[in-house]
Each structure stands twice: as structure tokens, then as C-alpha cells.
Structure 1
Amino acid sequence: MQNLLLKLTLVFAAFLFALGFSANVFSTEKNIAKDTSKPINVKVFIGAMFEIGNNSGDKAGEFQFWFERYFANSKPITVKGAANSVYCNQNGVCGSVLGMGKVASSSSMQAIILNKQFDVSKAYFLISGVAGTPPSKGTIADVSWGSWLIDYDLGHRWHPSEGEPDAPTFTPRKGYESIRRYQLNAHLLNWALHISDDVKLTDSESARQYRQRYPQTAARRKPKVGYGTHMTGDTFFHGPGLSSEAQYMAELYGADDYVITEMEAAAIAQVLDRTLGINRMMSLRGAVNFDQGHPNERTLDHLDPAPGETAGGFEETLINISAVGAKVVDHIVENWHVWQHDVPPLP
């Protein structure tokens, strides 16, 4: 009897062991399946800064035309630390609204880059949005590719009355040499200009009339695709004095002429530089305002224009940005077998 009980006990113990082993194997297999789920291979990431309302169907902000072109059938992907959801299509194009200003945009970009849902090791980054331009260099509805990115805020400034008469009121702060300016990949820039050179830009009657308030030749012309230094500042600097200071900074840093004032690109470049490098980064901006008033307008009046005194052309500029940028995005995706390795030689 005792032998029978002993045998039954051993059989039951073996059964429990086998059951536990099977459960552990099943659990391990579940964990393995969860941990080895494949991330999305991102070919091009499009970063906008703000959206006015919905991503589609209302007044467009910076993301809406991108969303309607690439992500209308995509589901939102939540990313911890990012300001908004990320959208990806089946062709490896992803995009998101990163937030306005240096902190919001760069923190969102870092959260997305470090998130394991995405493989961005070979991705190209297209940072796009609206901006201002000096009337001596650009006009409303212009589209500009960035050649250099400069952080407008990193340095020392003082009141003009406390310095030398008519001298610049800015000097760079020592220790910021590696993060105050970034030269983007000139080879990639040439590709972007080559691909988008023949895009027909949209214009508006209100913008055409508004341009005539300015005497500068560049301000009065039709919009075009160009390139130059994009000046990043959380400070919404305005007026001919600060515009001249921005140009002074571009010359001081050995960069191209200042043509665009915006609020995010240099900060995003710092995130990319620390993680993936900036070899595959592009900055694309459309001008929706001049960085100063016309000769008969005070700077403060231009900053807060009366009804009917705005430049117009906002939606047209957004259309131009997406039309120009999409040519490059589509070219990269369609020729991914070449572009995934590196920026190819120009034809």
C-alpha cells in the first residue's frame, strides 16, 4: 500500500512539473513573440511643428497636407514623450506634429528616435513648416531648403545704447561652438534642389498685392524654390535691426546668407547629431511673413497687424511646402534600393 501511495505521489509530482514546465514554455514563447515584434522600418520621417485643428478637413496647419498625402489611411501610434501621435504608411513614410519651439520639437524628436516601435537607422528626416523671411532675400510663398542651421539664442546680447554706436549687439558665447551652428549635407541639399526645381508654386492675389508694399526686388517677385541659412530662435525677433543682426551672425559663423527665421531646426539637429547624425537631415520652410515691416510701417504694427493688413498666402505656402517636399520624399522611397545605403551621386 505504501509503495502504491509513493508511486501515485511521484506520478502526481511529475504531472505538476510537466504542467509548470509547459506553462513556462508558453509564457516564454509569448514574451519572445512580444519582445521580437519587428519595428517599422522608417525610410523618411516628416516632422511638422503645429496643426491648427484636425489633421484633415478643416483649416490647414503645417501637417494637414502631409497627412492627407501620406497618412489618411494610417492609424495613430502613441509614443511616450512625444507631443502627438506618429503616423506611418505602408511605404515606410512616417510623420508627426512635434510641437512649436526648441524644447517641444526636440524632445518629441528624441522620444520618437529612441522608441523601439521604429527603426530609424536608415531614415531621412524632413523637418518642415512655415517661417519668416527678410524682404531683401525672399518673398511670401517662397520655399527654402536649409543649407545651414544657426541657433539665434546662443550668445550674449545687450541694449544698443550700452554698446558701440551702430555696432552689432551680439557676440557668441564660448563653449557652444559645436551646437550653435550645423551645416547640413551639401550633397543631399543639391539633390533636393535638383528634384524640386521644376515644382510649379502656388500664389495668391492677396500675397501679390501685399508684396508691392516693399521696395526690395526680392520681396516683389514671384515665389520660388531656394536655399540658405535657417535661423532658429525661440525669440520671435522682428524688425530691420534684428534682421540685420541675424545676417551678421550668419556671416560671423561662415554660413550662407540668412533667408529664413524659424523656431525648431537647430534644436532638432542637435538631437539627431547626438543619436544618428545629421547626414540625412533636411530643413524645408515656406515664408508666410516678412521679418520686418515695410518702410512706412512700425515694427510693433507689423507684429500685430490690423484686420486686412496681413500678408495672405498662408494656405498657398503650405501647399508649396508639401508639393516641393513630396517630390523628394517620393524620389527617396521609389529608389530606396539606392538611397538606403547613402545619398547617391547626382546624375
Structure 2
Amino acid sequence: MLEVCKSGLIALTISTLTATIASAEPVKVKVFIGSMFEIGDNTGDRAGEFQHWFSKYWMDTEPQEVLGAFRPVHCSDAGICGSVLGMGKVNSSASMQAILLNPNYDFSEAYYVLAGVAGTPPSRGTIGDVVWGTWLVDYDLGHRWAPEEGEPGAPVFIPRSGYEAYRLFELNPSLVAWGVALSDDVEMRDSQAAQEYRQRYPDAAAQAAPSIKTGTHMTGDTFFHGPGLSNEAQYMAELYGADDYLITEMEAAAIALVIDRQHGTDRIVSLRGAVNFDQGNPNETTLQHLDPAPGETAGGFAETVENITLVGAPLVDRIVADWEHWKDGVPAQDSQ
């Protein structure tokens, strides 16, 4: 008789727990921040892309495991959620899809901040810059051939027909404008090492202090380096009618496609900080740039990952603080 009672009690407990879980309201996500990697722990050691965001929004939160995601999701009581999605198109987009489809989260009105480090051409940017993406271009979708197999000096890329709907995304200009305006007075971090490294490049943009810019983010699984491929990236941006190429990164266009198929792209921002140049200086070859000697790296990584959060957080905070103005779409700037 006792065993029967025990079995009944266990069954009732399980039934009650299942009903409680099923009836729990999903987390209403107001802003989702996606980074691509963290170096070690989320706090207390050398910071990667996620740590400064974690320290600002999720220090007192519990990790929430999501089947299919690269790392757990963290959510604040204010509706700010975030996760490390993994590097590269496949890693990051698979994580984003798993999180979006998880019934524990309601993304129906969410905004997205896709934030990480990147490279920049020395003709347009410098170490420590943070760039709000105006366009996302997929670098890999098309046809390429060896330069010696084409016309001398001609481009070695043409778009592949059929990829028009997902090789190019224009991000919401109104949302980008909000991000730029709210970060206008951010004091950018810099380092002595980065300042010295910049002087190796003759370009005025490369030698300048870090600043906030806007431009095209070029998404490619290939870590392309050298002036030839940098020029090709700019050629692609012009070919597609996008803004100048300022950032080379590995995830944003793929993540945007996943979000687009569920909720559109009007609430996405792509925010990248430049930690390297996409080519060597005039006194080094591309291979030397790819494999620098000890002590010859760019410097400024720690400052750049901090800059990214400093630049992006004002937009996150404004969206959440004025949620009634934002939940139905990006408001006009003169309405607040």
C-alpha cells in the first residue's frame, strides 16, 4: 500500500511539474545581444566579445541551456537577453535559429544587436574603431577564379544568379541613426600599443584615433587578407549598391538571414570593433602580416572590445527604458 502511495505521489509531482513548465510564460525578449566568442569565463579574466556585455546586464542571472545553441542564454529581468553564438556562419546561424525557435522565449517584438570584433581596411578605418553596419554583404556567394585565369587587372568575382534574396541586407537606416546618435558622445578607449602600430600605415584613416563610423560589413568564412582581396570586397560593395566596405567579419549576414525568415530585419543592428587591418603595411608582405613576429601584433584588442559595449549599450538601454515607444517599431528620433 505504501509503495502504491509513493508511486501515486511521484506521478502527481511529475504531472504538477510538467503542467507548471507548460504553463510558464516565455521570456519577453526586448533586446537580444549576440556575440561570437568569449576567451575564457564570462567574467573575471581577459575579456572577449561577450564579457563586457555580461558584466553590464547579466552578472546576477542564471544560464539557460538551449538545445542546439553554442552557449547558454542569459536574460535580465528587464528583458535583455544574450548569448555567445559561435564563430563563423554555420556556428552562429545554427545557434541563432535554435534560440529563436525555443518556446521559452518570445522574440515577436525583439531587437537584435550582433556585436563582435573585426578587421578594417587602413584606407577607411583604424584599430579601435566601432562601425555601425548599414549593409551586410555575403562575401562567399558567387563565382571566383585565380587572377592569372582571367583578364589582367580585372575583378575575379561575379555574383551567382539566384542568391539575390540572401547575399545582401540593408539594415534599417532609422535604427542605425538612433545607434549613431546615442553613441555620439562616447569616449573611446585606446592604447599606446595601438597608437604606435597605426603609424606603420601611411593612410590618414589608419593613423587616426578610434571613432564611430558607419558602413558595409562584409561577411565571409574566409579570413581574407591583402590589398587585392580588400579591393575585391570594396568592388563587391559597389557592385551591390551598398556603402563603402569598412568591416570584414564572419557572421552577421548569416545571422540576419535566420532572423529575417522569422521576424524580418528591421530590428537588427550589426556592431563591430576593428582589432586588425585587413592587409599589411607597405613594408611587409601579406604572409608576414598574417604571421607576425612576437611583439608585432596590432594591440588595442582589450580597448576595442570595451568600445563595442560602450557604443552599443546606449541604444540597448534606450529601447528598454522607453519600451512603449519602441515595441511597435523604431520611433522617429524627434518623438522622444
Kindly provide the amino acid, as one letter, of the partner of residue 226 in structure 2.
G
Shift of 1:36: 1.7
| 2:45 equivalent in structure 1 | 58
Distance 2:168 2:13 in 1: 53
Q: Does 1:155 align with 2:157?
A: no
Shift of 1:34: 2.8
| 1:87 equivalent in structure 2 | 74
Q: Does 1:47 align with 2:42?
A: no
Distance 2:128 2:231 in 1: 22
Q: Does 1:68 align with 2:47?
A: no
- The structure 2 residue matched to 1:114, chosen from 80, 83, 101, is 101
Kindly provide the amino acid, as one letter, of the partner of residue 161 in structure 2.
K
| 2:87 equivalent in structure 1 | 100
Distance 1:306 1:151 in 2: 32
| 1:305 equivalent in structure 2 | 292
Structure 1: tracts of 5 or more residues without a match: 1-19
Task: Write out per-residue CA displacement over residues 113-167 of structure 1, whole angstroms, 9 at most, x where no aligned residue.
Answer: 0001111111100000000000000000000000000000000000000000100
Kindly provide the amino acid, as one letter, of the partner of residue 320 in structure 2.
V
- The structure 1 residue matched to 2:254, chosen from 263, 267, 273, is 267
Distance 1:129 1:202 in 2: 16
| 1:252 equivalent in structure 2 | 239
Structure 2: tracts of 5 or more residues without a match: 1-7
| Structure having the higher Rg | 1
Kindly provide the amino acid, as one letter, of the partner of residue 90 in structure 2.
V
| 1:182 equivalent in structure 2 | 169
TM-score (norm 1): 0.92
Once the two structures are superposed, the pairs formed by residues 1-347 of structure 1 within 5 Å of their partners are 31-347=18-334
Identity score, percent: 62
Kindly provide the amino acid, as one letter, of the partner of residue 142 in structure 1.
D
CA RMSD of aligned residues (A): 1.6
Aligned length, in residue pairs: 327
Secondary structure at the aligned position of 1:249 is classed as helix
Kindly provide the amino acid, as one letter, of the partner of residue 223 in structure 2.
F
Distance 1:50 1:208 in 2: 26
Kindly provide the amino acid, as one letter, of the partner of residue 283 in structure 1.
S
Kindly provide the amino acid, as one letter, of the partner of residue 208 in structure 1.
Q
Distance 2:323 2:128 in 1: 30
Check 1:345–1:220 CA distance in 2 against 1; reply closer, same or farther (3 A cut).
same
Check 1:246–1:33 CA distance in 2 against 1; reply closer, same or farther (3 A cut).
same
Shift of 1:308: 1.1
